[in-house]
Amino acid sequence: MTTPGAVRSETPLLEVTGLEVFLPTGRDSEIQAVRHVDLVVRDGERVGIVGESGSGKSVTGRAIAGLLPTSPLVRVNGSIRFGGTEMVGAPSSEWDAIRRERVGMIFQDPLTFLNPTMRIGKQVAESIPAARVGRDKRARLAEVHKFLGKAGFENPEQVATSFPHELSGGMRQRVLIAIAIAKLPALILADEPTTALDATVQQRVLSTLDETVAELRTAMILISHDLAVVAGMTDRVYVMYAGRIVEEGPTEQVLEDPQHPYTQALLRSVHSITEPDTELYSIPPSLRRELNAEVDRAS
């Protein structure tokens, strides 16, 4: 046992241990989407989660944000602790508080997140804690403009009075960044934030995210299937396959010198598409069978 004081200084921002998520696939059947995942994020740290579709990376992200469907058929085991507070099994009011105060979220499709009938300014304002600006409307509006400015808008006043449909995809995604950072969260959870965007827009949104996270010293979890996105944005990376973390380490090291056969094969196929003189490589079914067997043995 450690003293409470010592615990405080060592307690990571987020600590996930032995996380398991079971999702129903029918009335009497379920699949295990996440298998014994251990994951740690410290204050100000940037962590990537990469994997193919179906690897469990998004389900892990949703579990961390408390956004899995509330159904008795969705089972979550293990532990998710924010600053030492256990959240698995916590009532939804506690999750609401976590999302309101500590975790800002950015998803692939901003339209499902934004209210189509509400002006942007109001949606950003709702994310600013009352404790910070009180009921002073002017102060609140100034904050709204400030965060829209931080999210890369040169004309925050104009954007604030717009509706979501009046903005382009890249602009909407930057509105989500503004909403996510306006609460000054300890952690940003970004799930495929730029997957739906064109390359030039993607670059702009990523550099906006990069700069704001750096300026506010916010920790970040960046979930993506795109290794090139994670490469430039994170310090550490977790590689997921079939619900398990198969490799973890400093991003540069994992991408330069992958240890696990899956990471090696995944990188080989990514490089086979971009390198001119290599044969196109897809992960062979035989390797997938081996990997699946390994995952089954381990669980």
Q: Which is nearer to other proteins, 119 or 225 (CB)?
A: 225
**Distance (Å, rounded) from C-alpha 175 to C-alpha 144?**
11
Show the beta-strand stretches assigned E in the chain.
Answer: 14-24, 30-41, 46-50, 75-82, 85-86, 103-106, 187-191, 219-224, 236-241, 244-250
* 201 is an interface residue for other proteins by CB under 8 A: yes
Q: Which is nearer to other proteins, 30 or 43 (CB)?
A: 30
* 281 is an interface residue for other proteins by CB under 8 A: yes
Sign of CA dihedral 109, 112, 116, 120: negative
Q: Binding residues for other proteins, how many (CB under 8 A)?
A: 35
* 162 is an interface residue for other proteins by CB under 8 A: no
* 228 is an interface residue for other proteins by CB under 8 A: yes
Which among 36-44, 99-107, 128-136, 251-259 is the span making contact with other proteins, rule CB under 8 A? 251-259
Which among 123-131, 137-145, 184-192, 268-276 is the span making contact with other proteins, rule CB under 8 A? 268-276
**Distance (Å, rounded) from C-alpha 222 to C-alpha 154?**
26
**Distance (Å, rounded) from C-alpha 10 to C-alpha 90?**
23
Structural tokens at position 223: 């979930």
AA letter at 63:
A
- Kindly tell me which residue out of 97, 214, 273, 298 binds other proteins, with binding defined by CB under 8 A: 273
- Kindly tell me which residue out of 38, 40, 283, 294 binds other proteins, with binding defined by CB under 8 A: 283
Interface contacts to other proteins, rule CB under 8 A: 52-53, 169, 198-203, 225-229, 231-232, 255-257, 265-267, 269-276, 279-283
